[in-house]
Chain A
Amino acid sequence: MSVWNYAVTAHKPTNVTHSCVGYFTGSQELNLIIAKCTRIEIHLLTPQGLQPLLDVPIYGRIATLELFRPRGEAQDLLFIATERYKFCVLQWDPEASEVITRAMGDVSDRIGRPTDNGQIGIIDPDCRLIGLHLYDGLFKVIPFDNKGQLKEAFNIRLEELQVLDIKFLYGCSRPTIVVLYQDNKDARHVKTYEVALKEKDFIEGPWSQNNLDNGADLLIPVPPPLCGVLIIGEETIVYCSASSFKAIPIKPSITRAYGRVDADGSRYLLGDYAGLLHLLVIIHEKDKVTGLKIELLGETSVSSTISYLDNAVVYVGSSYGDSQLIKLNLHPDSKGSYVEVLEKYVNLGPIVDFCVVDLERQGQGQVVTCSGAYKDGSLRIVRNGIGINEQASVELQGIKGMWSLRASSDDPFDTFLVVSFISETRILAMNLEDELEETEIDGFCSDVQTLVCHDAVHNQLVQVTSSSVRLVSSISRELRHEWHAPSGYSINVATANATQILLATGGGHLVYFEIGDGLLIETKHAQLEYDVSCLDLNPIGEDVNHSQLAVVGMWTDITVRIFSLPDLNLLTKENLGGEIIPRSVLLCSFEGVSYLLCALGDGHLLNFLLNMSTGELTDRKKVSLGTQPITLRTFSSKNTTHVFAASDRPTVIYSSNKKLLYSNVNLKEVSHMCPFNSAAFPDSLAIAREGELTIGTIDDIQKLHIRTIPLGEHARRICHQEHTRTFAICSLKYNQSNSEETEMHFIRLLDDQTFEFISTYPLDQYEYGCSIISCSFSDDPNVYYCIGTAYVMPEENEPTKGRILVFMVEDQKLQLVAEKETKGAVYSLNSFNGKLLTAINQKIQLFKWTTRDVGTTHELIPECGHHGHILALYVQTRGDFIVVGDLMKSISLLMYKNEEGAIEERARDYNANWMSAVEILDDDVYLGAENNFNLFTVRKNSEGATDEERSRLEVVGEYHLGEFVNRFRHGSLVMRLPDSDVGQIPTVIFGTVNGVIGVIASLPHDQYIFLEKLQLNLRKVIKGVGGLSHEQWRSFYNEKKTADAKSFLDGDLIESFLDLSRARMDEISKAMSVSVEELMKRVEELTRLH
């Protein structure tokens, strides 16, 4: 039963909604602060560019973000108001490096109609009050006292009911607002009011201006000495003050964002809906405004916010495309643009639709999203884990070990690849044609298995086999010295670096060598109680060729031991616990922190912090990487060292912000890996897997990889067809020719490898693509693309006409094979019992695919249907069951009766949820997302005693996600292994307007209970920034009700356990009576769901 769900973010929001610039983290530190709906990001301006400092989750959707500085403060304070009527004032404490809360509160009113045009929050430039417009007809004031402390808030009645914008005017002796509003005849005006704090009322302001541009939508207050306000319309821009009025006409456009350039307010950047950036200049003689001037600077992403930073560099935040860092050049480039893009910041929002596909056919899901809007529309291919880009491969069975060797000590590249098998060792080398061919190193013993090889100082190579250690010249390739194991003893395990060798023979003998010029010096011998299972002396201290420490893993007592070198003194003995022996140990250093990694025979990995001088091991952590023994090796990528854990679930271990992270490698099983940095294949890895030796380069080391396919038009629906290896999308393109603006809708066919348009079918005028699937029908072997459309006529409230188009892909072309007119918009299509199930306006309609005439052509014939919806927007099916998400009537369950050829309603949820997506979790539980950013689950009650009970879908889960979900899809971003714990957990992926990709995982009940307890404890330890409550944030919330979250867990909070300090983890561990190690392991496993 999929009732117990875990909601977690795989890709954080990237839609930039607000930005501001000020001195937040220090009086000398200029910051850019960005809001991405539920998170704020604090950046520092530096000579190198923007330096990200902190990503701050906010328990609310940010409605307002403003920096301000009350008198007497050395730094700016940050004011944040959330859509659920909470606000907070944040301050950075530079000493503690913490965000502290100066003030917070609730500004909701019990009654009041929420504003239609969004919430407004503004701060008086002289810091006398904060003004909020949250409900029609009310202006809320939070006054400051003369010490900068906030006082009780109160409402003032605002006569204007349709407010478009409110700003504070500069330079007024009493705080004064300017209100842009629309009257009941749709005319737009501005009006000013003074706020009388003592009387808690408005006083008529100094001026007003009637009958503005009908598209006036934005006010820009102008600072002293000019003061007054700019009113930005669609056809005019007006400057207005008590004494002056200036207007200029502009080319028709909708301004989305503005950024002030100069402190005196004489220049502004304006960004419009088409991504054009203009400079608006107020021409003035001293304090008198004499005119306005506007110039086109160039093109950016469609901006939602613009912040001038410093030295001609500007941040452009975008909701519809990638955000950008741009530079304004003094002179235009060859295309006449003054804009130079310096950096881009990926934004997946708005994700309107997506599909989950396995393009590489490796059992690894990839998400392909329809992202962005207008000209910034794109497809994004989002893939979890690290890919290997294969350069060459050969079939080789039974590889037992691999090492790369250089031809001389100072050669920057590797030449040889030593591959060891059970009874032989083969040496591959790059030949002159850059091909790998077999070669020989005379001094090496090639008819036995090699235990280890390494480059050594003085142009030497080391080979250790079960009987001897050989030191060979890398120049002459001849043997220079050999050490033989005493008779009766064979070498079991060995490790080496450039100057040292450590090996263990049967009977627990540990032998340590130092490497001289042509000489192996047996420096020390130690006798241990038990046999050695693995060892390592990777140098991570100051000397890159020589290690002060060695680590040894033991059979029998299951310990790892740290020895000092060269004396082989035991420094530390750590009991691993359990019965699984260590199979691979590695000393390594990430971001200057030393670790001991220890892999067990059952796929678990332990890591410890290692004290380099005392050998002490602390902060033990355990994670599960796979189910088979792991082999650990280091490798370098982009000048950083990472660790490759070869096993049935290959993983790269790396470090970010001094925290170890584990990223899946997108290969099924890897038995051995070694770095192979040859001249022909620089920075490559040699990988042994499934009877194959592969040489390949590795992706950037990060969790999610995003590839962008810019379309220049807005993709709204996407579908993949495995059979033809194509994608089909419904898209629209805006054409701007002269003043006439038109949009064209298309069905496009794309190659699933190159993502090029290979065929296009233009839709009719006014015809929108609404739905798309790939399917086949009963008694017809062909695979088709079916597209549902709607004719959206300007004069109609709802479409009354649409089409179903059936295409076949022939010779890479879309061939229309059937077409059916419908009496409304085809919102949804599903392949259903070999037929086509459609949702057309308020009706669910089933079509069968029948042969016409002599059997060459087909047509869609209506079979049966079901009425009773407002608009049936989202449909999912399972067997004969049909789950419908309605525009405003929540979820209903229908059933198709094959014999009777009828569709009947079985049950419905009687709540009035306005749906945005639905999905079937299992036979009985259905998941819904609605337009107040909530998720909920309902359950079919087939065992109900009465008809009434059976006809009601019971709400079993409720949760405030804080994101607008456009689509759910079954699938997984990670490679699922059937025998791993998380492999059993069913998951649904969702995509949202803010560019979030998230996962809903249905957990077993006992795991849910355990994690619920952990969440409860985490709430006590991890505080909400600004004093906002996590419990309130996650409570289901709409206009009608607020209810505590149930049957959903916040994976983002739970996984932040891994970011806590050890002391805080201990606190939680104590409260839960579960060891930190166990908690970490269980949470780490969850992170592997996404």
Chain B
Amino acid sequence: MGSMLGDLPSYDPHNFSLLRPSDPSNPSKMTPITYHPTHDRTLPPPNQVITSEARNILLRHIYQRAEDKLRPKRAASENLTPEHGSKHPKAMGNSDGPQF
């Protein structure tokens, strides 16, 4: 059994090396300072104020499908011999930008 607890991780061997167990009936009373920020960086950069996509899942699905349906047609008008575009509509997705 001892071996199961052997070789426990040590990130800094000094940590807790000087700690003496305190009297268990006398709980630790160290209280940290309470933090009250007054600086301006409690607000993130404007582009990091995150919102959720407004479009509902169902609508997103419908639009996505509609786009997927549209895409091969457009591609076809420019390129008469599409190789396998219609078979992997999802994989083409937005990365196929230049076509638009």
Residues of A within 8 A of B (CB): 30, 41-43, 45-49, 51-57, 87-89, 93, 96, 98-109, 138, 140, 142, 149-157, 196, 198-200, 261-263, 267, 279, 281, 293, 295, 297, 308-313, 322, 325, 327-332, 338, 340-346, 656-657, 700, 702, 708, 1021-1027, 1056, 1059-1061, 1064
B98 an interface residue at 8 Å Cβ cutoff? no
Given contacts A41-B32, A140-B52, A262-B9, contact A101 B38 (CB under 8 A): no
A101 engages B44 (CB within 8 Å)? yes
A1060 engages B38 (CB within 8 Å)? yes
Cα A449 to Cα B55 in complex, Å, equals 87
B47 an interface residue at 8 Å Cβ cutoff? yes
26 A-B pairs within 8 Å (CB atoms) are namely A42-B32, A45-B12, A47-B14, A47-B15, A55-B35, A56-B35, A89-B44, A103-B48, A105-B49, A105-B51, A106-B51, A142-B50, A152-B51, A155-B53, A198-B94, A261-B8, A279-B5, A281-B4, A308-B9, A311-B17, A322-B27, A327-B16, A342-B19, A343-B27, A344-B27, A1027-B44
B50 engages A1022 (CB within 8 Å)? no
Instruction: Note all chain A residues with C-beta closer than 8 A to B4.
Output: 267, 279, 281, 293, 295
Instruction: Note all chain B residues with C-beta closer than 8 A to A1022.
Output: 36-38
B38 engages A1021 (CB within 8 Å)? yes
Given contacts A200-B60, A343-B21, A345-B28, contact A104 B2 (CB under 8 A): no
Instruction: Note all chain B residues with C-beta closer than 8 A to A104.
Output: 43-44, 48-50
B31 engages A52 (CB within 8 Å)? yes
B62 an interface residue at 8 Å Cβ cutoff? no
Residue from A261, A331, A343 having most chain B Cβ neighbours under 10 A = A343
Chain B residue nearest to A151 (CB atoms) is: B50
Instruction: Note all chain A residues with C-beta closer than 8 A to B94.
Output: 198
Instruction: Note all chain B residues with C-beta closer than 8 A to A109.
Output: 52
B13 an interface residue at 8 Å Cβ cutoff? yes
Instruction: Note all chain A residues with C-beta closer than 8 A to B31.
Output: 52, 55, 656
Instruction: Note all chain A residues with C-beta closer than 8 A to B28.
Output: 325, 343-345
Closest CB-CB distance, B88 to chain A, in whole Å?
A: 11
Cα A232 to Cα B16 in complex, Å, equals 31
A47 engages B52 (CB within 8 Å)? no
Given contacts A47-B14, A48-B19, A1023-B38, contact A154 B32 (CB under 8 A): no
A261 engages B38 (CB within 8 Å)? no
Chain B residue nearest to A107 (CB atoms) is: B52
Instruction: Note all chain A residues with C-beta closer than 8 A to B5.
Output: 279, 297, 312, 328-330, 338
Cα A309 to Cα B44 in complex, Å, equals 31
Instruction: Note all chain A residues with C-beta closer than 8 A to B42.
Output: 99-101, 1023-1027
Instruction: Note all chain A residues with C-beta closer than 8 A to B34.
Output: 54-57, 1056, 1059
B17 engages A47 (CB within 8 Å)? yes
Closest CB-CB distance, A322 to chain B, in whole Å?
A: 6
B36 engages A1059 (CB within 8 Å)? yes
Closest CB-CB distance, A660 to chain B, in whole Å?
A: 14
Residues of B within 8 A of A (CB): 1-2, 4-6, 8-19, 21-22, 24, 27-44, 47-53, 57, 60, 64, 90, 93-95
Cα A88 to Cα B24 in complex, Å, equals 37
Closest CB-CB distance, A267 to chain B, in whole Å?
A: 8
Q: A54-B33, A342-B21 are in contact. List 4 more A-B contacts (CB 8 A).
A: A155-B52, A263-B9, A310-B15, A1059-B34
Given contacts A93-B41, A104-B50, A157-B57, contact A1056 B36 (CB under 8 A): yes
A310 engages B11 (CB within 8 Å)? yes
- State the majority secondary structure of interface residues on A: strand
Instruction: Note all chain A residues with C-beta closer than 8 A to B35.
Output: 54-57, 99, 1025
B8 engages A153 (CB within 8 Å)? no
Cα A1026 to Cα B47 in complex, Å, equals 15
Instruction: Note all chain A residues with C-beta closer than 8 A to B93.
Output: 198-199
Closest CB-CB distance, B33 to chain A, in whole Å?
A: 5
B57 engages A344 (CB within 8 Å)? no
Closest CB-CB distance, B21 to chain A, in whole Å?
A: 5
Chain B residue nearest to A1067 (CB atoms) is: B38
Cα A1064 to Cα B39 in complex, Å, equals 11
Chain B residue nearest to A1061 (CB atoms) is: B38
Cα A295 to Cα B5 in complex, Å, equals 10
Closest CB-CB distance, B14 to chain A, in whole Å?
A: 5
B53 engages A153 (CB within 8 Å)? yes
Closest CB-CB distance, A566 to chain B, in whole Å?
A: 40
Instruction: Note all chain B residues with C-beta closer than 8 A to A100.
Output: 39, 41-42
A345 engages B27 (CB within 8 Å)? yes
Chain B residue nearest to A155 (CB atoms) is: B57
A55 engages B33 (CB within 8 Å)? yes
Given contacts A99-B37, A1027-B44, contact A48 B18 (CB under 8 A): yes
Closest CB-CB distance, A628 to chain B, in whole Å?
A: 32
Closest CB-CB distance, B32 to chain A, in whole Å?
A: 4
Cα A310 to Cα B13 in complex, Å, equals 8
Chain B residue nearest to A312 (CB atoms) is: B8
A149 engages B16 (CB within 8 Å)? no
Instruction: Note all chain A residues with C-beta closer than 8 A to B22.
Output: 342-344
Cα A1024 to Cα B37 in complex, Å, equals 7
B16 engages A309 (CB within 8 Å)? yes
Closest CB-CB distance, A97 to chain B, in whole Å?
A: 10
Instruction: Note all chain A residues with C-beta closer than 8 A to B33.
Output: 53-55, 657
Instruction: Note all chain A residues with C-beta closer than 8 A to B29.
Output: 700, 702
Closest CB-CB distance, A758 to chain B, in whole Å?
A: 22
Cα A322 to Cα B25 in complex, Å, equals 11
Instruction: Note all chain A residues with C-beta closer than 8 A to B1.
Output: 295, 332
Cα A109 to Cα B54 in complex, Å, equals 9
Instruction: Note all chain B residues with C-beta closer than 8 A to A702.
Output: 29
B15 engages A150 (CB within 8 Å)? no
B37 engages A1025 (CB within 8 Å)? yes
A311 engages B16 (CB within 8 Å)? yes
A341 engages B15 (CB within 8 Å)? no
Chain B residue nearest to A702 (CB atoms) is: B29
Cα A107 to Cα B50 in complex, Å, equals 8
Instruction: Note all chain A residues with C-beta closer than 8 A to B32.
Output: 41-43, 52-55
Closest CB-CB distance, A656 to chain B, in whole Å?
A: 7
**Of A108, A281, A309, A341, which is within 8 A of B24 by CB?**
A341
Closest CB-CB distance, B34 to chain A, in whole Å?
A: 5
Given contacts A45-B16, A47-B19, A330-B6, contact A1027 B43 (CB under 8 A): yes
Cα A940 to Cα B15 in complex, Å, equals 61
Given contacts A53-B32, A55-B34, A702-B29, contact A199 B90 (CB under 8 A): yes
Instruction: Note all chain B residues with C-beta closer than 8 A to A342.
Output: 16, 19, 21-22
Instruction: Note all chain B residues with C-beta closer than 8 A to A99.
Output: 35, 37, 42
Chain A residue nearest to B21 (CB atoms) is: A342
Chain A residue nearest to B58 (CB atoms) is: A157
Cα A98 to Cα B1 in complex, Å, equals 45
Cα A142 to Cα B53 in complex, Å, equals 10
Instruction: Note all chain A residues with C-beta closer than 8 A to B50.
Output: 87, 103-107, 142, 150-153
Chain A residue nearest to B9 (CB atoms) is: A262
A313 engages B16 (CB within 8 Å)? yes
Chain B residue nearest to A345 (CB atoms) is: B28
Given contacts A262-B9, A341-B21, contact A46 B15 (CB under 8 A): yes
Instruction: Note all chain A residues with C-beta closer than 8 A to B6.
Output: 330
Residue from A46, A279, A1024 having most chain B Cβ neighbours under 10 A = A46
A149 engages B21 (CB within 8 Å)? no
Instruction: Note all chain B residues with C-beta closer than 8 A to A263.
Output: 9
Residue from B12, B15, B39 having most chain A Cβ neighbours under 10 A = B15
